[in-house]
Structure 1
Amino acid sequence: MIRLGLRLALAGGREAVLRLAIIVVAVAIGTGLLLSTVAGLNAVQTQNERYAWLNTGVVDTDGPGTADPAWWLLRGDYFHGDRIARVDVAATGPEEPVPPGIPRLPGPGEFYASPALARELRSTPADELADRFPEHLLGTIGAPGLPGPDALVVVAGDTPEHLSGLPGVHRVTRIASLDPSGCSSCRVGTDSDGMVLLLSVVAVALIFPLLMFIGTATRLSATRREQRFAAMRLIGATPPQISLIATVEATLATVVGLIAGFGVFFALRPGMATITFTETAFFTGDLSLGLRDVLAVVIGVPVAAAVAARVALRRVRISPLGVTRRVTPKPPRAWRLTLVVLGVAELAYFVGRRPATTNGQTTAYLTGIFAVMIGMVVAGPWLTMAGARLLAGRARRPAALIAGRRLADNPQAGFRAVSGLMLALFVTAVASGIITTLVDNRGAPVEGGSAADVALVQSFWPGTDESIAPPPALPGLLVTRHNPVFQADTDSPVGPGLIACSELASRPLFGRCPPGAQVAEVSQDLQGQHDGGTIAPVTVWQASAVTPAELAEQPILSVVVQTDGSAAAIERSRTILENAYPGREMLPATNGEFQGDFGKQLVQWQQLANVVILASLPIAGCSLAVAVAGGLTERKRPFSMLRLTGARLATLRQVVALESTVPLLLVAALAIGMGFLTAHLFLRAQMDYSLHSPGPAYYLLVLGGLVASLAIIASTLPLLRRITGPETARNE
């Protein structure tokens, strides 16, 4: 039977070869994307393990160890808006703990840099970057010590006497190996649990359209194959034998597609490694597959295809005449809307009742979102039937009446062709709505020339910086000082700073004092802030009762330098400040850079959303093309009979176009609307934000997808002339 199944699969002429080729392509694309997603999950975990050593000292690394103690200070620096992880170390003995990627700890005046930072050092003037570090570059940090190929990391040597006296320094005897996702105190790394959750959602968002695509391809020529298997039943074949033949036919194409899918994965891997949906890009080798992953895909995909084949031919297994005893399917009922309503109700319930724990939030929101997604698939046939009846009831032309009646007769088949596109549009609407709202509320870029762009701030923490050196001679420099009145009233170590109004008057960008005031209360960075971190310039600061003489006796709270906003000026000023105040745990930065950290995370999430959009829409388009072409092939005899009775070819083309276009536009509007509603409910429940409409790019992308879908439908219409001739009616 296996040999017969192989022969039937390969000896069915051009139609059989085309069907197998389409199934191979569907499985290959699906397998390649599935493997890429699994590899992405593995890469997140691998990258997080590479971050672990940077948290040495933050976690408990001072205790029984295998090395002499070393002093360790981790700080965060910036260069052109990108973060630099700087680790200052000082060995106290010959058996010092050594981080991965370097052969030994650097001594005083030495440092190691990541390859990306070394390239910047070679191409940037020294006063903008190199002067911040020791004189001698020993070499580059190897891949085991880097989270990604474009990470900016430096390990600088110091003397134990100097480093041990700096604030924030730690005494360590071993290098940390704890994954940052399992460490609440870790300062560097990614919450891999959250990223795995996010990637899992992406995987589901891609898998749903892929399953629709594979299912649609598997059903190609289903009627012809059912007739063939029914004839075999009539000459004595048993149901198990028919099932085995069908399974062999489906498995053959699936296995070939599975092998091709690994090729698709390796072709996608280099490009996927450049997508920075964590803090940095991946090494290509980190996008790897474990033996368990490979076995799960190799076994799971063919099994799923075999099950699909058996389900598709269930009528033949019931009776050899089951294929010819066809009746109109029962119309779908309104109960199919239940799951959608429950999903929306669940999301609405949590508005104002957000679960307290992360796991609770994950369960609440994902359950609701997936309920809406699956519910739309379940409700699709009912909605298609409703649209078809509306079309037939308002029909004024024969084509509209025929299309409406045919759709209402079998709405499941009409919806099946556009189900993949509906899921793709739903996912893109949810992703774009959430990302756009987050950017508008929390990550909107500051206006050019604002203080957040041009002001470099060096802050000092009270209690650890009693003796601050005089500020360097920098143009545009202002100094804020501690406020003794605030500290006496609240016992808080940090409060509004003070500045002399005579100084502030020279820099109107940072506001002004009220009339008659000599000293003003100001923020530490001379910039006001709203909740969420968005910058709000303050025009008039509040006057202080502190006199200028009392102000001069107060310790420095911060140094703020107004630059011209150019990258070179900011980096030169940053280098001067770091050299003027060496060893500070808080390094100088602009407010725009702090704000940009979250903005970059949003950009990374947007890249994930773009991946989903760019992957799911073409898949949905392929699914639509296969479904429409397959539907024409299955219905060529009825169309041939209509032509014999006098129906014009143009009328038949209008019928096919309407049968495909009505469900397409209906589910597109439903998917986009439900996607925005789902995004709005999630944002209200989780962050108390209202949905902001995506920008023109989103609507152009959706419009382009719909136009491409209509073009796909139009491209199949010329097939009608070839497959609906009189010979078709005679031969069938």
Structure 2
Amino acid sequence: MKNLGTLTWLIGGRAKGGRLRLVGTAAGLAVGTMLLLLVFAAYQGMTDRAARADVYTHLGYAGLPSQGGEDTSPELGATEFLTMATSFGGGYDRFQDQRITRVDVAAAASSAATLPGLDALPEPGEYLASPALAELISKHPEDQLGARYGSMAGLIGDAGLMGPDTLLIVIGHDPHAIAQTAGVITVDAANLTGSPYQNFSYMIIALIGGLAVLFPVVILISIVTKLDQAARSDRFRTLGLVGATPMRIATISAFETAAVGIIGTFAGVVLYWLSLPVVAQLRIGESRFFVSDLTLSLGGIVAAAVLIILSTTLTAHFSALRAQRGIRSTARDIPEKRPSLWRLTPLTLGLGLLAVTATASLFYGQTPENERSGIAALLIQLISVTLIPSFLFTAFGLVLAGPLLLSWTARLSVRRAKSPEGVLALNRLMRRPSATFRTVSGLVLALFVVTVFAVALTTDQTEQTQNQAAATSHHHVPFDAFMAEVSPSLAYDSSLWNETESTAAIAAAQHLTQTASEVSGVTGAFVIFNSSPSFDDNRYLLRTADARALGLDVPNGAEFVSVSSDYFYYSPTSQSPPPVTVKAAEGLAPLGVPMFVVVTTDGTSGTQERVRTTLSLSPFSSAITHGSPPQTLNEGMQNNGSLSWAQQYKGLANIGIVIAALISVVSLAVSILAGVIERRRALALLRLTGMPATKLRRMITLEAAVPFATTFLLCIVTGAFTAWAIITGLNPRRTVTWPEPGYYLAVVFCLLAAILAVLATFRTVGRSTALTETRFE
């Protein structure tokens, strides 16, 4: 072993430029290792923090309806507590353009119940807030935010937060006071768990996204290893000429690669640790990361490091062994076998599976989830799972099919080549299509990944654009007007309607309008009534004077008018709502009940938040009892986008686009360098025979440009089709459209950076083709 180490050092480290080569290879492996660990860490961090947030945002799914009856106290176990309807499906509040997750709880005095990040549940009239929300409360006047919740009793720990920017509040209530509230449920804290994914579809998206970002990193590591092998190829061939056996040479190559791999991988682990505080500052979705979320376990880091070292070492060993079976010359290029048609199999299989999956989803997935049979639901899940191997086959198939397509392109083009550099470049592409296509494989895969990400992201953009168009296509209540429900129990259960309840609801509405009118900056407060107990005509009633103040064109002579419900509500499912109509009404329906109040303001932020606080504090407000805090129509529209988990993956996808683009450029530069170093003696002989340096540079440029141009359009089309198939396979009601301008800028950036990468190698070409390289010829 000692002799092997000495021989390896003499051949590698003591050779001309050997130390610089070893340092460069180790640095490349360090960067690759760091990126690989960060990809795994990002996936871990996304799932961990999503699981923590899910405990609070879907707390109601873990509970059962409260069994308390009138004049009875709720019977709660040691770890049980009551939670309000706001927590069912995700209770929330708003402050300006920020969304606050709100959880209302009530437990017995002796309760041991708790939630993640809490030592104990808050007492009635108290609340616990996340650090970010506590800071927000302290920075603004009490009547705009803090007064809504009571007195602060402490902070929520990191174990209960998605990230350091999370706005979360847990408010304590008296269980006897809220036991009879509609929608109250009993939750056992001992059984609370959070899901890392909103549903099965988002799990598939996360896995595909992680694999898409992982591919370019793996290619970078393999290309860096290839650069090291290219630099040693001449020395190893010389060893073979003087009698060294192929196995001996392969062992030396593996030993050197292992030594460099250990150093580079260790440095990569150190870089990973050092980069965590910086990477944690990236904001994905609603918050940045905690550093602990991105910290992999020691066992995981060791396993990844060992895998990298073993893979690079074995690759070096078998590559050196395979090279020694060819022509043992230091000046000749070893030809490759002509690529066969089987290389198209993975790509064809991947595209075929994507097409079948999308078609099956369009056929079976149109049925609403609650109406699907067990077999249909299982089939939909199988369709979604099929997307993962389909994506893998397609991505792998592009790289595998590239040499075959390149070989065809070169054979068709070489007959029309007129310049010497064109003939030489195309002939090399014909003789070694796999080696030359490997140069641009990172760029090809990156273009595919970037296209998939960019096109898939348009599904959220398309949905928001359609919703905005639907909302603005007809007359609405002012977009900055507040709407607060008066009595949710009456609004959603007409069996409760009676004269007593109607009278109480009218008193509640009067109280809401009166308290709202007293807020400075309020320009009007109006009561909206039901048109009939069954609400079968989708219309509301309001006083004529109120309708006129809201800007409606009303008929004269009537005390009340009837207005289409679309005037007050934004329906994302109604793409072509009927026009708003206003009709004279004879008066309130029997047992007429106020449904909600509309409050108009001067539009300033301070006024809006004071109105929200005032309405929330009203004993008749639905902010607690139904989980619908007072909000404007415009805020209700925005909620459809802000509540989407797709927004979180959108941020991650944008980072993936940047990573893939940057890695592709580095991979291209390293691959070209490897090719130049591997052929430096042949290139030097061309210079020796009189070939100008400019023509040599053109030849190298063509060798990089032709393989990329061969698959450029294929990558874009395949990427767009893959994105459509994935989105359709997961939800056939979604669609995609043309990517945003940022995608085209990313493609242009890749092209420009690729040109700069080629230009950067020209200096190496000059050094490698110097006369000293051929002094013994």
Q: 5 Å matches for 1:76-91?
A: 76-91=92-107
- Of 658-667 and 89-98, more deviation after overlay is shown by 89-98
RMSD (Å) for aligned C-alpha atoms: 3.4
> Is residue 177 of structure 2 the alignment partner of residue 167 of structure 1?
no
Unaligned 5+ runs, structure 2: 68-74, 365-376, 518-522
The structural deviation recorded for 1:694 is 1.4
**Pairs within 5 Å for 1:337-356:** 337-354=344-361, 356=377
1:556 deviates by 1.7
Q: CA distance change for structure 1 residues 53 and 697 in 2, over 3 Å: closer, same or farther? A: closer
**Residue matched to 1:31:** 33
Give the counterpart of 1:455 among 460, 466, 481.
481
Partner letter of residue 155 of structure 2?
T
Match of 2:630 in 1: 588
Instruction: Determine if contact 1:9/1:249 at 8 Å carries over to the other structure.
Output: no
Name the SS of the counterpart of 1:394 in structure 2. Answer: coil
Residue 454 of structure 1, CA deviation? 1.4
Asked if 1:477 is matched to 2:491, the reply is no
Q: Which whole-Å CA distance do the structure 2 matches of 1:100 and 1:421 have between them?
A: 44
User: Is residue 540 of structure 1 aligned with residue 580 of structure 2?
Assistant: yes
Secondary structure at the counterpart of residue 417 of structure 1 = helix
**Aligned counterparts of 1:614 and 1:670: Cα–Cα separation in 2:** 21
Answer yes or no: is the 8 Å Cα contact 2:63–2:186 preserved in 1: no
Equivalent position of 1:369 in the other structure: 391
Question: CA–CA distance in 2 between the matches of 1:455 and 1:702?
Answer: 43
Aligned equivalents of 1:301, 1:678: Cα separation in 2: 29
1:417 touches 1:628 (CA, 8 Å); kept in 2? yes
Q: Distance in 2 between matches of 1:591 and 1:425?
A: 40
- Does the CA contact (< 8 Å) of 2:455 and 2:720 recur in 1? yes
Q: 1:627 to 1:320 in 2, by over 3 A?
A: closer
Code of the residue aligned with 1:147 in structure 2: it is M
Deviates more, 1:5-14 or 1:207-216: 5-14
Q: Which residue of 2 aligns with 1:506?
A: 549
The alpha-carbon distance between structure 1 residues 45 and 682, as it changes in their structure 2 partners (threshold 3 A), is closer
TM-superposed deviation, 1:194? 5.5
Residue in 1 that maps onto 2:641: 599
* TM-fit CA distance, 1:296: 1.9
Moved more, 377-386 or 12-21: 12-21
Amino acid at match of 2:383: Q
Matches within 5 A, 1:429-444: 429-442=451-464
Quote the Cα distance in structure 1 between the aligned partners of 2:212 and 2:660: 8
**Which residue matches 1:185?**
none
1:424 maps to 446
For residue 420 of structure 2, what is the aligned residue in structure 1? 398
CA distance in 1, matches of 2:50, 2:714: 40
- Tell me, yes or no, if structure 1 residue 179 matches structure 2 residue 193: yes
Q: State the SS of the aligned residue for 2:170.
A: strand
Of residues 63-72 and 41-50 in structure 1, the stretch that sits farther from structure 2 once superposed is 63-72
Rounded to whole Å, the distance in 2 between the matches of 1:569 and 1:304 is 63
**CA displacement, residues 110-162 of structure 1 (integer Å, 9 cap, x when unaligned):** 2222211111111112221112111x222222223333222222222333332
The 8 Å contact of residues 96 and 609 in structure 2, kept in 1 or not, is answered as yes
Deviations along 1:637-670, whole A, 9 cap, x unmatched?
2222222322222111111111112223333333
Structure 1 counterpart of 2:139: 123
| Alpha-carbon distance change, 90 to 557 in structure 1, aligned in 2, over 3 angstroms | same
Aligned amino acid, residue 34 of structure 1: L
Deviation at 1:227, TM superposition (A): 4.7
Is contact 2:114–2:121 with CA below 8 Å preserved after alignment?
Answer: yes
Deviation, 1:225, is 3.1
> 2:422 matched to 1:381?
no
Of 297, 301, 321 in structure 2, the residue corresponding to residue 294 of structure 1 is 301
Is the counterpart of residue 219 in structure 1 residue 226 in structure 2?
A: yes
How far 1:703 sits from its partner (Å)? 0.3
Tell me which amino acid in the other structure corresponds to 1:730: R
Q: Give distance in 2, aligned partners of 1:86 and 1:690.
A: 32
**SS in structure 2 opposite 1:313?**
helix
Quote the Cα distance in structure 1 between the aligned partners of 2:312 and 2:555. 76
Aligned twin of 1:523: 565
Instruction: Give distance in 2, aligned partners of 1:270 and 1:324.
Output: 49
Distance 2:112 2:688 in 1: 91
Separation (CA, whole Å) in 2 of partners of 1:430 and 1:36: 21
Q: How does 1:508-657 map to 2 (within 5 A)?
A: 508=551, 519-523=561-565, 526-531=568-573, 539-541=579-581, 543=583, 547-550=586-589, 553-580=591-618, 581-582=620-621, 583-586=624-627, 587-600=629-642, 601-657=645-701
Structure 1 residues 680, 86: CA separation in 2 closer, same or farther (over 3 Å shift)? closer
How far has the Cα of 1:396 moved from its partner? 3.2
1:153 lines up with 2:168 in the alignment: yes
Aligned amino acid, residue 125 of structure 2: G
In the TM superposition, residue 485 of structure 1 has moved relative to its aligned partner by 6.0
SS in 1 for 2:337: coil
Separation in structure 2 between the aligned mates of residue 444 and residue 567 of structure 1, nearest angstrom = 27
685-694 or 575-584: bigger deviation: 685-694
Report the 3-state secondary structure (helix = DSSP H, G, I; strand = E; otherwise coil) of the residue aligned with 1:13.
Answer: coil
Q: 1:72–1:88: 8 Å Cα contact kept in structure 2?
A: yes
> Does the C-alpha gap of structure 1 residues 431 and 530 become closer, same or farther in structure 2, counting only changes over 3 Å?
same
Q: Displacement, 1:377?
A: 0.5
Unaligned 5+ runs, structure 1: 182-188
Change (3 A) 1:280 1:646: closer
Please report how far the alpha carbon of residue 698 of structure 1 lies from its aligned counterpart in structure 2 after TM superposition.
1.5
Residue number among 758, 761, 764 corresponding to 1:713 in the alignment: 758
CA distance in 1, matches of 2:328, 2:154: 78
How is 1:37-436 mapped onto 2 (pairs within 5 angstroms)? 37-51=39-53, 54=56, 58-60=61-63, 67=78, 70-73=81-84, 74=87, 75-134=91-150, 136-172=151-187, 174-181=188-195, 190-191=197-198, 197-220=204-227, 222=229, 225-232=232-239, 239-277=246-284, 279-315=286-322, 318=325, 321=328, 327-354=334-361, 356-357=377-378, 359-436=381-458
Q: For the structure 1 residues 562 and 537, does the alpha-carbon distance in structure 2 shift closer, same or farther, using more than 3 Å as the test?
A: farther
Deviation at 1:684, TM superposition (A): 4.4
1:409 to partner: Cα distance = 2.1
Contact 1:101-1:145 at 8 Å conserved across structures? yes
**Structure 1 residues 427 and 631: alpha-carbon distance in aligned structure 2, compared to 1, 3 A threshold:** same
Inter-partner Cα distance in structure 1 for 2:222 and 2:168: 48
Superposition deviation, residue 308 in structure 1: 1.0
Return the alpha-carbon distance in structure 2 between the equivalents of residues 297 and 452 of structure 1. 57
State the Cα deviation string for residues 194-227 of structure 1 (Å, max 9, x = none): 5554443233223222222222222226456345
User: Alpha carbons of 1:140 and 1:109: their partners in 2 closer, same or farther (altered >3 Å)?
Assistant: same
Check 1:241–1:179 CA distance in 2 against 1; reply closer, same or farther (3 A cut). Answer: farther
Other structure's SS at 1:548 match = coil
Contact 2:478 2:633 in 1 (8 A): yes
Partner of 2:732: 687
d(CA) in 2 for partners of 1:240 and 1:222?
A: 16
Structure 1 residues 223 and 683, CA gap change in structure 2 (3 angstroms): closer
Identity of counterpart residues, as a percentage? 29
> How many residues align structurally?
712
Residue 184 of structure 1 corresponds to none
- TM-score, normalisation: structure 1: 0.88
* 8 Å CA contact retained: 1:437, 1:693: no
Which stretch of structure 1 is more off in the superposition, 464-473 or 693-702? 464-473
Counterpart residue identity of residue 585, structure 1: H
